[in-house]
Amino acid sequence: MKIDILSLFPNMFDGVFTESIIKRAIEKGIVDIKIHNFRDYSKDIHSSVDDTPFGGGAGMVLMCQPIFDCIKSLKTDDSIVIMLTPDGEIYNQKKAIELSKKKHLIFLCGHYEGFDERIRSICDMFISIGDYVLTGGELASMVLVDSITRLLEGAITKESLDSESFSNNLLDYPTYTKPREYAGMEVPEVLLSGDHKKIDEWRKLQQIEKTRKLRPDLLEDKDAK
């Protein structure tokens, strides 16, 4: 997979993609990630990328030209251009799985007061990571890149993916490790039994009970399908 990220603040990504799973995925050639400062595409003598809004109002608005030209230089027939914006579709694991099957993703990170509305015409998708406002789209793009990369074949084991939260519209089951007892709290006996059928049944029941307690909306979505 190829991922291109458009940002006015490329230094924000320092370190994020050079650790853990993403670093290993890059080293294995599973994913290729590039950061592009779209200010480099400005044709203004001052390298301007924003201006005051027509009609007045607070803040500065990102201009069309630098972003149009940057995306044009990167886009191919396989590209999906995604704008990170508060009014986008709320991101979830289902969307992560969908995007992990694409060949080329282009993430557009906003800043300041937002985008000139006409920039939407060159975007294929609009995504928000939650109902709150960030300084820019950089952090949101990092969230998407992390959640997508770990789903790519070879990034982590298939067994790990199959047992994760949201893999079956349920939260993950509780896990334990050594010691068997700590501060008066003991590991459930079923996990020490060696009976894998009973362990699987216990884990599935724990998933349902945990989801019912913490995220009942997920069970409602599951029943609606």
CATH (domain of 124):
3.40.1280.10
Are 77 and 15 in a shared domain?
yes
Same domain, 144 and 205: no
* Domain limit, last residue, from 149, 181, 203: 149
- How many Å apart are CA 156 and CA 165, to the nearest integer? 15
Domains held by the chain: number: 2
Give pLDDT, residue 167: 64
pLDDT at 58: 84
- Shared domain check, 71 and 139: yes
Residue 151: is its pLDDT beyond 70?
yes
**Final residue of a structural domain among 115, 149, 183:** 149
Task: For residue 16, give its domain range.
Answer: 2-149
Average pLDDT over residues 18-37: 95
Same domain, 18 and 108: yes
Contacts of residue 176, Cβ cutoff 8 Å, sequence gap at least 6 = 187, 188, 191
Whole-Å CA distances, 208 to 177, 191, 196, 201:
22, 18, 18, 11
Residue 156 lies in a domain: no
Q: pLDDT tens-digit profile of 166-225?
A: 667 899 999 999 999 999 999 999 999 999 999 999 999 999 999 999 999 988 866 655
Let me know if residue 127 belongs to a domain: yes
Per-residue pLDDT band at 157 (split at 50, 70, 90): confident
* Greater pLDDT, 163 or 40: 40
Same domain flag for 17 and 86: yes
Angle between helices 138-149 and 20-27 (to 10 degrees): 70
Judge whether residue 162 has pLDDT over 80: no
169 plus 141 within the same structural domain = no
Residue 5 has pLDDT above 60, yes or no: yes
CATH number at residue 204: 1.10.1270.20
Q: What's the pLDDT score for residue 222?
A: 61
- The 10 Å CB-count burial string (b at 16+, else e) for 109-146 is bbbeebbbeebeebbebbbbbeeeebebbbebbbebbe
Q: For residue range 117-143, list pLDDT tens digits in order.
A: 999 999 999 999 999 989 899 999 999
pLDDT at 94: 93
**What is the rounded CA–CA span in Å between residue 168 and residue 58?**
44
Q: Are residues 127 and 181 in the same domain?
A: no
Are residues 178 and 97 part of one domain?
no
pTM: 0.86
Answer yes or no: do 42 and 106 share one domain.
Answer: yes
Q: Are residues 143 and 171 in the same domain?
A: no
Q: Note the pLDDT of residue 27.
A: 95
Residue 18, pLDDT score: 87
CA–CA dist 28, 22 (Å, integer): 10
Q: Which two tokens stand for residue 6?
A: 């458009």
Query: CA nearest 199: which of 173, 180, 177?
Result: 173
Kindly report, residue by residue over 43-83, the tens digit of the pLDDT.
999 999 999 999 988 889 999 999 999 999 999 999 999 99
Same domain, 135 and 210: no
pLDDT band of 163, cuts 50, 70, 90: low
CA distance linking residue 2 with residue 104, whole number of Å: 5
173 and 144, same structural domain? no
